[in-house]
Structure 1
Amino acid sequence: MRLGKGLVAAILAGSAGVTAAQAPAAATPATTATPATTATPATPATPATPGASAAATLASPDRPGNAPTGTVTLITGDKVVVTAAGHRVEPGPGRQVHYASQHRDGHLYVYPSDAHPLVARGLLDERLFDVTQLLTWGYGDARRDDIPLITQSAQGDVPALRSARQDRRLSALGMTAVQVSKKSAAETWKGLAGDGARTLTAGRTKLWLDGRRSFTLDQSVKQIGAPEAWKQGFTGEGVTVAVLDTGYDPTHPDLKGVVTQARDFTGRDDTRDTDGHGTHVASIVAGAGEKQRGVAPGAKLAIGKVGDHVIEESDLLAGMEWAAAEVKAKIINLSLGAPDTIDMDPIEQAVNTLSERTGALFVVAAGNEATSGTVLSPGSADAALTVGAVGRDEKVAAFSSRGPRLTDHAVKPDVTAPGAAIKAANAGGGADEPYVAMSGTSMAAPHVAGAAAILAQRHPDWSGQRLKAALIGSAAPNGSAGLYEEGAGRVDVARAVSQQVAATTGNVWASFPWNGTGERVATRTLTYANSGDTPVTLDLAADGEALELGAKRLEVPAKGEASVELTIRAQGKAPGDYPGVVTARSGETVLRILAGAFVEPESYTLTVKAIERDGELPRNAMGVLYQLKTDTYRQLSFDDQGVAKARVPEGEWNLYVNVFASDHSTTAHQPVTIDGADREVTVDARQGKEITFTLDEPTAVQDGSEEITVANGSWSQGWSSFGDDVYAVPIRQPGVRYMAGSTWHKKNARPSPYRYDLVEYRTGGIPDDLSYTVRTRDLVKVSETYRAPGGPGSASVLVGPRLPGSPWAGGAWLSHSPDMELPATMTHYRTPGFAWATGIATGTHWVSGVSQVLDRRPVAEVWNAAVTGPAFGTSAGDRDGDWLHSNVDGILADGRAGLMGGDYAVTGTIALARGGEKLAEADLATCEPAFTESCQLDVRLPAEAATYTLTASAQRPSVLSTKVEAAWTFRSERTDKARPLPLTAVRYLPEGLDDHNRAKPGSTTVIPVSLQRNPGASRPRVTSIMVEASFDDGASWRPVRPVRSGSGWTVRVANPAVPGFVSLRAKVTDAAGDQVTQTVTRAYAVG
């Protein structure tokens, strides 16, 4: 039988030595790679023969980091299923589109073809299709049944979205927060996307995901000069500062009489602080205690509770609007943030809009990301006064985020302030513990907010931007730190209030596109205002390669202003950043203005034209440019003429384009060199050749999903469609890896008794001949049994190859068996020479694993076997310096080695204790932000060695393994680098159970017992092992004797004569003194 539909193809582009990568992609279409200009047809590429085969045991999935898993419904109504070994797309009702999947920066993005043009045009928030982020934020289908959105319109009110519930109207921002039911998302999408998927309907100008943000005194108050300002009578009196945070503790004495207004925006109608962050921040701004005082003890506070541990963006927007427009707060503190992106997000936009309209000053934490280019949003906003952190030694804190700003390389942060070990009010601490020390730019920002309040009292007529300029201008530079580390320096409020001259702007910047030898000059006017009664003469100096002043001296009249021209000249400058400072001096008066330029790398315009297979304009096209050297990508936006243009720096690029028609798709991949001139490239789908498979099984038919994937290192691009013909353009290119895949099942059989999972894999390009003939006798036979874990049910099974050298756990999900009634058996025939990933979801429980490389010897696998218990899919935790990190993601899997799993409905806790004292605890069901099946503990510990106990307890809505508990006891001390915690999991794999995981009443069950060590941890000799069984859910226990067997043990359990359950408990100690006690309630059934 020969069919060209229903196959998967992948191109893996890479330079020599760079391995391809893609997490098993959703059922994605095989598209064709059509060279732009004239591509020479390739000679046949070299067959890729993976290494020698091994037994079909399982290898641990090696997902990047601990990527979240689960199912998430996109705004288009399409579902993306993600397991530890890969992902698959399930089209929404009535949807016949193609899908693009990308892996970049550790995140999986899935773009439907009718949504991608809107993303490329900046009309749709890219985060709506960031599957990793959606799951991480708890927006997966297991956590919520709606999609939170923020819509914006330039026309005021717009018609409501279909099947959407309006949450709140943000009139001052022209935004509306809505929630779309996932069940009707596909219908909502029809009413949202405009003609040709190039506009939004009803005057909408932007659709954002309602995302999430996280919250990023003694000596510190003195450090910024606050007491000197107090002596002059400036304490912030008469100024209102809004703190948008986790609420406040109204009983704390330092805040009594200070808070004049408080409002909740989380929907809980309660402004009390259950986290502690907001109380701490508020007291730094304006605490008025007897022992501790904030920076501006005379100011009043308006408290807006916008979140607990995390913040919904729509709640934050409502709080910002309230603080600026209703409360009319002069200063608004935001000790929070989220990673910045190239596009402006709604919070950045709100900071700029509300600053301009109300005159408020937003003081924002820079973030705690430690490295360059990591200033968080909304600190990245133009109008924000962005604050980094310094320690008591005035050095920039190691954790403080550095610039430059992502978009234009401008200087951020603007200033710094104390942020290390800041002692301030402790929410709920009472009289015994009224204060607590915290570190972060979250603590630095309120120091500056308090300083701004003091300055606002001194100059009540100043706008927020004037206050910002004065605080930047009067800041004290460290001398050893760069501008991108500290901005103008540590804020000095004493200097700010005492200087009679101030600049009216704090920073100026110019960005120059590459224009060869053309002019790169910009002029900016710097204005200085004198609030004193006598004129002041300023000596001016520009410190920066690109800065030229129009004068070296400037006289500023009493009660007046004077200006000087600053020329930012980048003529002849190499591409790069040119930050600098303009300094004005007069006696003790010192003023600084941040200034500089960014010169774009040598860049030219790349024009890409797409042609359909019939020679006409394409119905739709999607494209991406990717550069390996710089890890840079560009989304291409094609117009209705099939043309896309992009400004591209010189160098070697890879062009990936998909041209779509109603019943077929063509993918083009080709290298593009940009070298000294604009470039035009044509992607001609007529050059594509159809990918076909022929199978010798006459009863088999091909499934209807296709995919082509391009991957390189951390980058991966996949194209998906369902039921279409698939074409690829032959091309010879070193480093390019190509995979075509196809799945088959028995015609008219549901469920099918067999499946064929076929893969064709080549290196060196896409071969000229894309037709493949496959014989059953050349495949490996895999006999699979899927048990019903304790009772009838159904499961969804995904199978896909693991591509050689891939850092992700697989290539593409080839085979999908949804709603399989359990128990069941199926025979899979798979291409040998590959490792294969399998994922199975039963109810709320999932488990996955990757086989070793298969040869042609038959293999048998059993899934959903008892006992489900602790298992380490990836690292369960480490000690890194003084920090202990623990993550129980993937802790629930059966006894086979190499499996990991979890449960979306799990409840319970993970906790750390020392000497019987609980140090930290997290709730598996509610902690956020968290992965959908995990909750991570991050605890700072003393340097000295001590004994700790880490406990995990998980309850599941299941028949078996209803409760799983583990307590690990170990010694730990400060480390020189991250070292895995010495944890052990006890794994059981009972023999002789039936397909419902039941033993016969009165029988004896032999149970192999193995120990799994936390990956990377040392393996001391086991000194004792004890196993017990219970037949009454743990009310009483009976010892069963472990007997050595190979590398593990076996125990024999005499099952009761009546139906019921067997629970298992084990205690293991090793030579290092590490110990684990592990209990599984209802490990298997008897009946």
Structure 2
Amino acid sequence: MTLRNALMAALLAGAAAATPTPSSAAPAGTGTSNSVTLITGDRVMVAGNGFRVVPGPGRQVDFTSQRRQGHLYVIPSDARTLVAGGMLDRRLFDVTQLLAWRYDDARRSDIPLIAQSAQMPAAARQARQLAGAGMTTLRVPKESAGQAWKDLTSGARALGTGNTKLWLDGRRSFDLDQSVKQIGATTAWELGLTGKGVTVAVLDSGYDPDHPDLKGAVAYERNFSEDPDIRDTLGHGTHIASTVAGAGQKYRGVAPDAKLAIGKVGGEDGIADSAVLAGMEWAALEVKAKIVNMSLGGPDTLELDPLEEAVNSLSERTGTLFVVSAGNSGRPGTISSPGSADAALTVGAVDRSDRIADFSSRGPRQGDHAIKPDITAPGVDIVAAAPGGAYQTLSGTSMAAPHVTGAAAILAQKHPEWTGQQLKAALIGSAAPSAGATPYQQGTGRVDVARAVDQQIVALPGDLWATFPWNGQGERVATRTLTYANTADTPATVDLAADGEMLKLSTKRLEVPANGEASLTLTVDARQKAPGDYPGVVTARSGQSVIRTSAGAYVEPESYNLTVSVVGRDGNPAQPYVELYDPKTGAVHELAFQDGIGKARLPVGEWNLYADFSERAYGKTVAHTAVRIADRDQQVVVDARKGNPARVTLDDPSAAPARGHSLSLSHGAWGIASWSSEDPNTRLFIVPARQEGLRYLLRTIWFSKDAVPSPYLYDLADHRAGGLPEDPTYAARQKDLAAVSATFRASATAATGLPLSGPRFRDDWPVSLASPPQDLDLPGTLTYYRTPGLTWDSMLELGTYTLADDGQAMKPGQHTRQTWNAAVTGPATAGIRGSRTGDTLTFSTVGLFTDPAPGRVGADAAATGTATLSRNGHVLAEVPLAGCALDRWESCRLQAALPAESSLYTLRASMRRQVPGSALSTAVESVWTFRSARTETERPLPLMAVRYAPRGLDDLNRATPGSLTELPIKVEGVPSTLKLELSSDDGTSWRTIPAQRTATGWTATIPNPRTPGFASLRATAHGTSGTTLTQTIIRAYAVGPASHLTPGSSAARPLA
């Protein structure tokens, strides 16, 4: 449950003002790996450091873009109030996350949803009915998303009527010999407590049915994942299952006689929420497992997500105990979901010395600051079963959770009548604290099975927490009842003490009758306490028994209520999108409105209010005002009627605005962007506001009124500082603008491309990209006229291939020229990353396809290949290179563990492509050799790249047969020598071409063949540190007529 005041920064907008029309968009399911279809039917295309939006057919809406915690959100105006009101999952518009989960249009043809509803959209398909959780999983075909959205926003199926909540069916991840004895399990075994008769469910990546340690241990199994069977291809689930109940001779699980129910909920592509929900229902309702282990999790949110809701509801309904890993983020406030659920027994990790593991997620829980994790267990270097009959050592809170699960099974054998919450309380109460650790790091301590089965006193509940709003000192007192149950046949005396700044007990001693209970009152008194977290522990002692209960409170910072009243341009109450933000931190509160009234509770400080009115009859109004929260409740009125019309004019009578406008605002750590629909006549009104530090950028795109395609593109940006202008008028004059004459070459016949560009409003924000209304026929030209005083980023999309530059600062009257997609396309160091940290080598690439212009980087998502790391001829690691994209370094990444001593390594990256947009650079390979030894810190690998810029080629990247081509060569890196070779038969044979050293690199003269064909190039460079590079590019450029450039043709001979 994450606080809504998450950090936020907005993205520069303007995409819809200059994106292709809906008719030019590819159908859903046929897009690139960098496009996603939203639940509204709109599509977002991401390219490098930029993005653009293609509205769904017939969609006349505005869009807002935000950047929060590194993620890009694009939210249509007709979804904003549903998101702010908590009825629609914000992740449905998290473009970064959708791409990371492979929900893009190339890999997925539907949108997976989870609905808490009585109705579902007519266009949706029901996937699973989760009656136990009151939910349904749905699949909406992307081609029907627009119709589904209409169903969700109108009529009986609308959100807020038949449907109460709609989530994205997101993804979770798995939270990656001495440990059994460490928690006292062997002592329990000696008492005959081995988990016998107790069913434990493990919801994970499946298991290895043939592993000897699990033979006879699995009583039930079911596959809920997208994989074809129960078998564990990751090794995670097998490890977890054997830690709970493995029966090996060498490595035994904590509860070796427990019966396992294996539910496979995920695999190599992650874990779908819907699969976990189905597994939870199966385990709790059908299998009737006493304990369910869930070594998985994902980022927490403010609202209860579907997994948190299911943990709480199924726990209460069935008495099942859900044991969940805390997460591996290692920082305060990073408890993952569903470990964040109240009913979950949340497990952190310790090492063999009971020290808190560095990676173990800490509390407090987001939102109410409650104590999580509840308990810890061994999670460092845990040896357990691996697929194939082997064993492996893993670390993580994933490994800690099954220790607690096994402990719960042992305890359940002794107390079969206990509910899951009673088991949870007994385990929490009997835990052994780690020296120097706080409750937010460990809960009550490391699980102690021996003490849990021996102690006769149990504290209920296992934790007590209070949250105090700022309402004056006198009202910050709360009382809680703490009950001690005695399971023995003799009475017990309990001595009590409270370790906490604000905890007071009604008594220091209790007499607990045999098989009975006794209670006391715990008072939490925060009247004299400053705002903050106050975790503590109540300790009860009875003989040798020690029972620990987490307790404490959170005191809200001094805060007051703010009421916001909004009036539309028609004078009636309006329903705008409103954010309250802190420019110092970027903290944001979104307001939900009813009848024109929205309310928020804000800490004392300087806040700002941003309001965005989208009124179909009147256009769009933007307002901004400072709000000072000091010592009392406040009221603010925002009146759209005070807005002045924004106007942009141009002194070129041949040009006209293409579509609507975009508006970006930035203030300190905060920012936001919005843009209007396709209609260039959409009106924009600005309510004036002086505000130091507030930056404003209004952007419009203009094309020729008559010429199709337009030979030019005006990108006009009115950028100002100091607030929202009194007179939002911008009169642009062509002579004051900066001009760029761009030539776009072709590498195949009948090729087309889409130029994209946009201004950087802030360097730390992605850029919204504008483009002509349709693809350009290549070769082609386009002249840009841009507002000076900004840095402009440019890109070129040729199908699956994207080229991007590093930006160009523009001055008034400046005129520059650019050439795009010129030969030779090949590797560039801007597209390659390699480093060694300690004994770990990491190599990643966005691909091996960049044109020769300085500052460019390119990627072709359709190219495929491999990256291989070898040592002394032995392959250490090999990964496929496929789907590489400018913003997706993790998609093409190799990682390997290396020996500490210095060794000679060979790193090979090889890629091929056969695409309609290019008949050149069809196969590219770089082979690096270098020496490497253990490093103390991260050190880059000495990787080089050879760049060619042949002169005299035409706009189809062709040389004349029999001619001589001058070839300037630049080697990126630290080269000392260079050998160049030429092939005219796609690499079957090679001949050396002399290369002469120059001040900037090398140059060579290429004798082109007298018959049509291609020139392939191979270079061998030696670095000053003894490193080498052999780089091969098949079909570097063409020789001969255009008919020779057949789209999609490829090299006949594979690279050696």
Report the TM-score when normalising by structure 2.
0.92
Check 1:974–1:933 CA distance in 2 against 1; reply closer, same or farther (3 A cut): closer
Check 1:1062–1:303 CA distance in 2 against 1; reply closer, same or farther (3 A cut): farther
Determine the structure 2 residue equivalent to 1:879.
836
Determine the structure 1 residue equivalent to 2:693.
735
* SS of structure 1 residue aligned to 2:549: strand
Check 1:643–1:402 CA distance in 2 against 1; reply closer, same or farther (3 A cut): same
1:917-932 residue pairs with structure 2 within 5 A?
Answer: 917-925=874-882, 931=888
Q: Which of 624, 627, 631 is the equivalent residue of 2:582?
A: 627
Which deviates the most, 833-842 or 698-707? Answer: 833-842
The letter of the residue matching 2:458 is A
Q: Which of 1045, 1055, 1063 is the equivalent residue of 2:998?
A: 1045
The 1-side partners of 2:156 and 2:565 are apart by 18
Q: Which of 949, 971, 976 is the equivalent residue of 1:1023?
A: 976
The 2-side partners of 1:905 and 1:508 are apart by 55
Q: Which of 174, 192, 202 is the equivalent residue of 1:233?
A: 192
Check 1:692–1:661 CA distance in 2 against 1; reply closer, same or farther (3 A cut): same
Determine the structure 1 residue equivalent to 2:3.
none
Q: Which of 796, 801, 807 is the equivalent residue of 2:764?
A: 807
Q: Does 1:649 align with 2:606?
A: no
Q: Does 1:482 align with 2:438?
A: yes
Shift of 1:119: 0.7
Determine the structure 1 residue equivalent to 2:228.
269
Q: Over residues 24-66 of structure 1, what are the superposed CA-to-partner deviations in whole Å (9 max), with x where a residue is unaligned?
A: 6533699xxxxxxxxxxxxxxxxxxxxxxxxxxxxxxxxxxxx
Q: Which of 207, 211, 224 is the equivalent residue of 2:183?
A: 224
> 2:9–2:672: 8 Å Cα contact kept in structure 1?
no
* SS of structure 2 residue aligned to 1:218: coil
The 1-side partners of 2:254 and 2:696 are apart by 62
> 2:8–2:588: 8 Å Cα contact kept in structure 1?
no
Check 1:626–1:331 CA distance in 2 against 1; reply closer, same or farther (3 A cut): same
Q: Which of 354, 367, 381 is the equivalent residue of 1:394?
A: 354
> 2:478–2:523: 8 Å Cα contact kept in structure 1?
yes
Determine the structure 2 residue equivalent to 1:165.
125
The letter of the residue matching 2:754 is S
Shift of 1:925: 3.7
Q: Does 1:583 align with 2:543?
A: no
> 2:697–2:719: 8 Å Cα contact kept in structure 1?
yes
Shift of 1:521: 2.2
Which deviates the most, 584-593 or 566-575? Answer: 566-575
The letter of the residue matching 1:506 is G
> 2:176–2:395: 8 Å Cα contact kept in structure 1?
no
Check 1:624–1:975 CA distance in 2 against 1; reply closer, same or farther (3 A cut): farther
Determine the structure 1 residue equivalent to 2:854.
897
The 2-side partners of 1:1002 and 1:843 are apart by 32
Shift of 1:926: 8.0
Shift of 1:914: 3.2
> 1:796–1:842: 8 Å Cα contact kept in structure 2?
yes
1:114-513 residue pairs with structure 2 within 5 A?
Answer: 114-153=78-117, 155=118, 158=119, 160-194=120-154, 200=159, 203-216=162-175, 218-309=177-268, 310-428=270-388, 430=389, 434-513=390-469
The 1-side partners of 2:110 and 2:10 are apart by 32
> 2:502–2:526: 8 Å Cα contact kept in structure 1?
yes
The 2-side partners of 1:29 and 1:906 are apart by 29
Q: Does 1:27 align with 2:32?
A: no
Q: Does 1:764 align with 2:722?
A: yes
Determine the structure 1 residue equivalent to 2:49.
85
Q: Over residues 262-320 of structure 1, what are the superposed CA-to-partner deviations in whole Å (9 max), with x where a residue is unaligned?
A: 22112433111111111111111111111111111111211111111311111121112
The 1-side partners of 2:1026 and 2:943 are apart by 11
Q: Which of 99, 113, 122 is the equivalent residue of 2:77?
A: 113
Check 1:469–1:892 CA distance in 2 against 1; reply closer, same or farther (3 A cut): farther
The 2-side partners of 1:994 and 1:875 are apart by 29
The 2-side partners of 1:564 and 1:270 are apart by 53
Shift of 1:819: 2.6
Determine the structure 2 residue equivalent to 1:993.
953
The 2-side partners of 1:944 and 1:388 are apart by 35
> 1:255–1:288: 8 Å Cα contact kept in structure 2?
yes
The letter of the residue matching 1:148 is P
Shift of 1:414: 1.0
The letter of the residue matching 1:268 is D
Determine the structure 2 residue equivalent to 1:868.
825
Shift of 1:657: 0.7
* SS of structure 2 residue aligned to 1:1035: coil
Check 1:544–1:939 CA distance in 2 against 1; reply closer, same or farther (3 A cut): farther
> 2:176–2:396: 8 Å Cα contact kept in structure 1?
no
The letter of the residue matching 2:877 is A
The 2-side partners of 1:816 and 1:534 are apart by 85
The letter of the residue matching 2:181 is K
Q: Which of 732, 743, 748 is the equivalent residue of 2:706?
A: 748
Q: Over residues 440-480 of structure 1, what are the superposed CA-to-partner deviations in whole Å (9 max), with x where a residue is unaligned?
A: 11111111111111111111111111111111111110121
Which deviates the most, 375-384 or 68-77? Answer: 68-77
* SS of structure 2 residue aligned to 1:400: coil
The 2-side partners of 1:875 and 1:608 are apart by 50
Determine the structure 2 residue equivalent to 1:781.
739
Determine the structure 1 residue equivalent to 2:665.
710
The 1-side partners of 2:933 and 2:15 are apart by 44
Shift of 1:114: 0.7
The 2-side partners of 1:353 and 1:879 are apart by 47
Determine the structure 2 residue equivalent to 1:5.
none
The letter of the residue matching 1:908 is G
* SS of structure 2 residue aligned to 1:1001: coil
The 1-side partners of 2:936 and 2:246 are apart by 39
Q: Over residues 589-647 of structure 1, what are the superposed CA-to-partner deviations in whole Å (9 max), with x where a residue is unaligned?
A: 001111111111111111122222333333x41111111334321112122x2221111
Which deviates the most, 717-726 or 1038-1047? Answer: 1038-1047
Return the structure number with greater relative CO, CA threshold 8 A, min gap 6: 1
Determine the structure 2 residue equivalent to 1:794.
752
The 2-side partners of 1:933 and 1:1006 are apart by 38
1:498-647 residue pairs with structure 2 within 5 A?
Answer: 498-618=454-574, 620-639=575-594, 641-647=595-601
> 1:236–1:453: 8 Å Cα contact kept in structure 2?
yes
Determine the structure 1 residue equivalent to 2:1036.
1083
Q: Does 1:104 align with 2:104?
A: no
Determine the structure 2 residue equivalent to 1:674.
629
> 2:156–2:162: 8 Å Cα contact kept in structure 1?
no
> 1:26–1:720: 8 Å Cα contact kept in structure 2?
yes
The 2-side partners of 1:828 and 1:369 are apart by 46
> 2:18–2:659: 8 Å Cα contact kept in structure 1?
no
Q: Over residues 1004-1042 of structure 1, what are the superposed CA-to-partner deviations in whole Å (9 max), with x where a residue is unaligned?
A: 3333322335xxxxxxx4222223233333333232333
The letter of the residue matching 1:524 is R
Check 1:263–1:1054 CA distance in 2 against 1; reply closer, same or farther (3 A cut): farther
Shift of 1:694: 1.9
Shift of 1:891: 4.8
The 2-side partners of 1:24 and 1:831 are apart by 16
The letter of the residue matching 2:719 is Y
> 2:200–2:261: 8 Å Cα contact kept in structure 1?
yes
Report the TM-score when normalising by structure 1.
0.89
> 1:578–1:598: 8 Å Cα contact kept in structure 2?
yes
The 2-side partners of 1:888 and 1:196 are apart by 49
The 2-side partners of 1:20 and 1:631 are apart by 7
Q: Which of 661, 670, 686 is the equivalent residue of 2:615?
A: 661
Q: How many residues of Structure 1 are paired with residues of Structure 2 in the alignment?
A: 1012
Listed as ranges, the gaps of 5+ residues in structure 2 are: 1-6, 20-31, 1041-1056
* SS of structure 2 residue aligned to 1:1032: coil
The letter of the residue matching 1:657 is A
The 2-side partners of 1:566 and 1:941 are apart by 56
Listed as ranges, the gaps of 5+ residues in structure 1 are: 1-17, 31-67, 1014-1020
The letter of the residue matching 1:1029 is L
The letter of the residue matching 1:142 is A
> 2:1015–2:1036: 8 Å Cα contact kept in structure 1?
yes
